[in-house]
Every structure is written in structure tokens, then in C-alpha cells.
A and B are shown apart, each in its own frame.
Chain A
């Protein structure tokens, strides 16, 4: 689902709320330069999913996600993660984990969000923490992912290897059902 052919390129999507036309032509150049730097460093290991105004989408395999994140922090000066979202794709047998990464310390990146995504293998009968749905944690690179990754673990069953604290956060301690944000967990009556 998340392959390049299915995600429309940013240039085709219509822009709304763009204040001036001058900005429209200028800004994607800057975003392009960010994605170019990452592609230059990692080549085929990463895939640029979209480049649009203020947003750059990078997809990486789980083997390289740690290195890519380290490069983003050290060479590109992104310094915190705003949000970590899981997205469940049952038909592709994968759970995508999306990091929205921003920067406070570099003022040229204040508008930018780098959307770094990776995929974990999806199990039909999940045993959270004890199955193949695993990803390396990014907590040693971006400290701010700590609670976000705990949330993704309980809501999707993606175990983050190397995370020091994989306990439940929002769900009750005795929750014994499927991770609730997976697509196969159905709301009653719907």
C-alpha cells in the first residue's frame, strides 16, 4: 500500500491555503534539497515517498531506519519527534510506523516536518512482544519518542527492540484482547 506507485506524487496534489504564489515555487526546492541529501547518503536503501510544501516523506526498511534517523539528527539537525503513528495494512501484511520529525534548534527547518516511515511484519494472531512484529527503537537517537513508542506497542503490538520501557501506557494493565488500533479489532455495532 505504501509503495511509490500508489502514493501520488506531491506535485499532483492540489495545494490549499497557500498564501502567495512566490512561495509555491520557492519552497519545494528547499524540501527537495533535504530529500536529495538523504538519497545521496543512502541511495537505494531509502525511498522518497513525497516532497511537498514543508513536508518530506522518506521510507526506509527496518534494517536501515536506525542509521537514517541518526543521519537526520546529526547531519540535517532535526532534533525532536512530534508524533509516532502506526498504520495497519492487513492486505500487505505490514504495520507501518510513521515518525514526524521536526526541529527547534535550526530556524530554517522551523516549518519543516520530515515524515520518516518504516514497516514491521504483521502477524495474523499477534502475541504482542513475543512475535515477529518488531522494529528497532529510535529512543537512543530521539529521546522524545519514549512515550510515543510505548503507545504504538500497546495499540498495534509493534515491539521496539532496545526500548528500555515497553510497558502499557494508556490501555488497562489487564487488557487481553487484540491491540485495539489494528484493523481486525472491530468496534461493536459498526
Chain B
């Protein structure tokens, strides 16, 4: 019977005790997606995530635009983390067309990428806070985020969606006096987010709601192919900035944050620890960056890939490994472009984590996956 009916319309026999509940897509607790949960009383017995409500066909669009006009629309999946979304694409195009990047540009990219990681994580933390009923944790990150948004505005001219990275470097040089302002803001930012631990991470209510809920074991984290904070919260020491350093990460001292618990609490704490680490990286990069020099190797107009060739580049974004697979057939447009995003990869863990949990724990487990619906749908 299930064979003839279109997918999604197949009839099922449901036990009378079990109730099917659609959480989303309009429900604010699910983001722009639907989570179909089956509950027995207060306990979740099955969960079926249904993404796709914000699918925009980025990959299809990329086949119709050339390597430069692809830049502004490819950062749309995560506008708060736009530099990191573009990063693997830009690295891939650089390899395809064969262009070198000036040293100073590599440092500017690292700074922009770390600032964006913090901007994204603060936004995520604000949402995580409000869905656990912690209004302060919504207001504080939303406000402190402005510090770094101002820095990115100084650097690129736009508050979000910077379109700052281009194959061959970055779009423009840092404004005068940027290093001093950046150092000052980042130091203050670090001081501020350290205060979050007292109000949020050491808060007994948060601990009661997230400790020992939604435990993902190390073996399952590897088997399910999770990435980023979800993977590192389960005790796997894997960060691409350390394991496969791109640009100048090799010359910087990057510490990988790992926790062994694998519960919602660990998954929500890792991104916060990563922000503190980002502050360290930005300070190192500011110190080591060449004080002057070119920041962009000019591409020829309408760059072409060389023959039938493919390249797969990946970077560590705010949500884990972000890969970009570009197939070129020697034309000015990519033949095929695929974004392999952390959110999509971590989604597979959701049904496992929610099985057997109470329905009330759903928001804390779901948001602890560091999931961004728009990125997962692309």
C-alpha cells in the first residue's frame, strides 16, 4: 500500500496510546522546520525531522552564475556566519583557477572568520537562552553581539552578509586604526562573555534541564557522522582548524575544546568555550599579521576552471565542518556545486537523542545541536 501512495501520504496504523504531534513549521520552538514527534504520555517514542521549509536551491542557482556572482548568494544560508560559509567556496575556486593569496589577506580572513564565528554563536546562544525561558540570556548575547558586528561593519562595510571574501583574498583592506579598535573590542567582549558562566552555565535551572538529557555516546557521534560542537561534546577531538589547517591556522596556536559528557549541557557549553578560543586566535592573528601589503590578487575577468576538474575544500564553521564540492567543466560557471553543511549532518542525531526523552526537554536537546534550519536546507 505504501508503494502506490505518494511519499508522505502513506497511511499508518497508530497505537491508540500514541499521539502524533507536529512541532512546527510555524512553531517558534522548532525554527523553520517541522519535527514530527510521537508521544506516549509525556515521553517521546519516535521523532521524524522534516526540514525543507526554507529550501532555496542555492546549489542549482550556483550552476547559472559565474564564480564571482556566486559570492553574494552563497552566503545566504547563514547570514550571521557569512564569512565561514564562503570560505570553502573561495578556497576551492582559488585551487580551480590557480591563484595565490597574499599573506596579509590570509590573516584578515582568519580574523573575519573568527569574528563571524562569535557573531553566529552569540545569535544561537540568544535563541538557546530564550527557548529555555532565560530572558537575560537572550538580551545579553543579542546586545554584546553588536560589538563584533560593528567591527565587521568597519572591515567590510556591511553588518551582516559581508561578501568580503573573494577568490584571491578579501575585497578591501582593513580601515586605518582597525587593529587597535579590534583588540579593544575583543578584550571587552571576552570579559563580557566570561560573565555568562555565572548567569547561565552555572545556573542550577539550566543544569537541571540539560545535564544528562539527550546523551550522544562517542561511538554514535562518530557513526552518525556528526560534526562541530556536537562531535566535540561527545569526546572526539576533531577541529579542522587544527587537523587540516587552511590559510594561516597552522601558524596560530589553536586549542580544541572537548568535553566527554555528550549531553545537552556539554553541547551548549562547547560553542561558548569556542568563542573564548576565538578571542585568543584573533589576538594572535592581529599580532602576527603583516602590517602592510596587498590583500587581494586580482582575478582575470570571468575566471574559468581548468578542464574537467573537481575540488573539495572544507573549513570549520560555527556549526562544524563545512565542505564545498565544486565540479568545473572549464566554463565560467561551476558545473555542479555542493555545500556539505554541519547543520544537515547533525540533524541525523535528532531522532536518536529525542527517543525516550520527555517532550519538555525537546527544545533544549534540539537547540543544543547547534542547528540552523536555513543552512541545512540550503
Contact = CB atoms under 8 A, between A and B. Distances in A.
Contacts of B100: 16
A169 B8 contact: no
A54 interface: yes
B222 A7 contact: no
Interface size class of A (residues with CB under 8 A): 35 or more
A25 interface: no
A6 B308 contact: yes
A55 B335 CA distance: 20
Contacts of A127: none
A87 B236 CA distance: 32
Interface stretch (A32-40, A62-70, A98-106): A98-106
Given A82-B314, A143-B224, A172-B52, A13 B309 contact: yes
Interface string A160-181: 0000001111111110000011
Interface residues of B, number: 55
Contact of B225 (A143, A168, A170): A143
A38 B344 CA distance: 30
Given A17-B246, A170-B52, A180-B60, A142 B91 contact: no
Most chain B CB within 10 A, of A19, A83, A110, A144, is at: A83
B241 to A, nearest CB: 12
B104 to A, nearest CB: 14
A115 interface: yes
Interface stretch (B175-183, B202-210, B320-328): B320-328
Interface string A38-80: 0000000000000000110100000000000000000000011
A174 B6 CA distance: 8
A167 B59 CA distance: 21
Nearest to B336: A87
B68 interface: no
Interface string A133-176: 00000000011101110000000000000000011111111100
Given A81-B225, A144-B345, A16 B95 contact: yes
A64 B149 CA distance: 51
Contacts of B306: 8, 13
A54 B244 contact: yes
B143 interface: no
Contacts of B227: 82
Nearest to A128: B7
A57 B240 CA distance: 21
Given A16-B99, A144-B345, A187-B61, A83 B340 contact: yes
Nearest to A182: B60
B309 A87 contact: no
Contacts of B64: 187, 190
Contact of A87 (B101, B238, B243, B335): B335
Contacts of A121: none
Interface in B325-339: 325, 327, 329, 335-336, 338
Contact of B223 (A2, A79, A166): A79
A102 to B, nearest CB: 8
B348 interface: yes
17 contacts: A8-B307, A13-B309, A17-B95, A80-B222, A81-B225, A82-B321, A82-B345, A83-B338, A100-B323, A100-B340, A104-B222, A113-B314, A143-B223, A144-B225, A172-B52, A173-B7, A173-B9
Given A87-B335, A115-B310, A170-B51, 14 more contacts: A7-B308, A8-B307, A8-B308, A14-B98, A15-B95, A16-B99, A16-B100, A79-B223, A98-B325, A110-B238, A111-B243, A113-B312, A171-B52, A181-B60
Interface of A: 1-2, 6-8, 13-17, 19, 54-55, 57, 79-83, 85, 87-88, 98, 100, 104-105, 110-111, 113, 115, 142-144, 146-148, 166-174, 180-181, 185, 187, 190
